[in-house]
């Protein structure tokens, strides 16, 4: 997919993404860097933890899900960064070997008030594994509008 402009982001449009499977080594590697808690970094110690098993850091699943959306190509050359994210909810743990299937729905898309070349789009993410829903969140991004062209 080549990059989409604001005019292509219509509310209700859905993006399916390529599933990503997360193994134990990847969970440990990310957690040692960014979320060093035993239920993420140590599969054995995790059995004695509150989770009772080895589980992925929630930040890792958020990062994977946003990466899955970016990898659709939807923002290639048209994405202008984003101001924020909201309502991140980890509804169930993600275990080694599980596959993340991420669906992204356009919730809202409009021009920014200050700049006719720039639109603001709200994306609703939902991430499931074989076990069911594990994560939902909203991300807001800026994208070029066709009206604004490729000025910069």
132 binds a second copy (CB under 8 A): no
Report d(CA 109, CA 125) in Å as an integer. Answer: 15
Looking at 10-18, 75-83, 95-103, 119-127, which segment touches a second copy (CB under 8 A)? 75-83
Burial class (CB in 10 A: 0-12, 13-18, 19+), 119: buried
97 binds a second copy (CB under 8 A): no
Pairing mode of beta strands 14-16, 99-111: antiparallel
Question: Is 102 in contact with 17 (CB distance < 8 Å)?
Answer: yes
75 binds a second copy (CB under 8 A): yes
**Contacts with 50 (C-beta within 8 Å, 6 or more apart), sequence order:** 39
**Among 6, 8, 74, 90, which residue sits at the site for a second copy (rule: CB under 8 A)?**
90
* Shortest distance (Å) from residue 28 CB to a second copy: 14
**Among 87, 110, 116, 133, which residue sits at the site for a second copy (rule: CB under 8 A)?**
87
- Residues in touch with a second copy (CB under 8 A): 33-39, 49-52, 55, 58-59, 62-64, 66-67, 70-71, 75-77, 79-90, 93, 142, 152
């Amino acid at each position: 997919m080549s990059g989409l402009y604001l005019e292509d982001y219509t509310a209700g449009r859905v993006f399916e993404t390529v599933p990503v499977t997360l193994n134990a080594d990847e969970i440990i590697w990310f957690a040692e860097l960014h979320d060093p808690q035993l239920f993420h970094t140590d599969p054995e110690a995790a059995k004695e933890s509150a989770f009772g098993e080895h589980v992925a850091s929630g930040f890792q699943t958020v990062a994977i899900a946003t990466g899955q959306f970016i990898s659709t190509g939807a923002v290639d050359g048209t994405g202008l960064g984003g101001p924020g994210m909201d309502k991140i909810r980890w509804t169930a743990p993600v275990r080694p070997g599980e596959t993340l299937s991420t669906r992204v729905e356009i919730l809202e898309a409009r021009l920014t008030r200050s700049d006719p070349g720039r639109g603001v789009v709200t994306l609703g993410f939902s991430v499931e594994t074989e076990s069911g829903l594990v994560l939902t969140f909203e991300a807001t991004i800026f994208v070029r509008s066709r009206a604004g062209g490729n000025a910069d």
